[in-house]
Amino acid sequence: MTLARRRAAAYALASLLLGGCAQLETRPAREAEFDLAGRLAARYGEESFTGNIAWRHAKDFDEMLITTPLGQGVARIVREGDQVTLTTAEPREYHAADVESLTQQVLGFRLPLDGLADWVRGRPSPDLERRGWKIEYQEYAGELPSRLRLLYPGIELRLIISRWK
């Protein structure tokens, strides 16, 4: 090997080694808190519902307002820590430790709030399959999902997200 080739090989090797030390640009983590608005459609058994959804989510707090297409309140769901309260239009208040059983009891369909906070941001939930839910991401707006279809035996939920904060 000639001196020129050795130098070229040494420069190439040095470039690779130094390039391996360069810091990779990382994307900022998506915020744990969000505020979204959109439309919701639910089919469960012989029943169905279409309406609007407004949802504020934080680490230990959720507030979800479900309304008719004309804006009349159907349910307000508030999770603070380990306590969940669902208030209906009558108004009647219901309490439970988890959203799924409470929405099943009061609204007639299970709303998987625990997993939904990850799913609406396009994040997998580790216990998704174990809990029986199947998620289909049908459309994205940038890097966030804007259309989702959630399936559970006997239940189909469709969510169209029109606004993110």
Ordered domains of the chain (ranges, CATH): 35-164 (2.50.20.10)
Distance, in Å, from the CA atom of 32 to the CA atom of 49, rounded to the nearest integer, reads: 29
* 8 Å CB contact between 84 and 99: yes
pTM of the model: 0.76
Mean local confidence (pLDDT), 85-112: 91
Q: Mind listing the pLDDT tens digit for each residue in 19-41?
A: 334 333 333 344 589 999 999 99
Calpha distance 76→101 (Å, rounded): 15
Q: CA angle, corner 136, sides to 130 and 141, nearest 5? A: 130
pLDDT tier at 129, thresholds 50, 70, 90? low
pLDDT-derived band at 79 (thresholds 50, 70, 90) equals very high
Q: Residue 3 pLDDT > 90, yes or no?
A: no
pLDDT of 121 over the 60 cut:
yes
> What's the confidence (pLDDT) of residue 130?
64
Find the mean pLDDT for residues 54-70.
96
pLDDT of residue 144: 94
Bridge partners, 43 (sequence order) = 48, 156
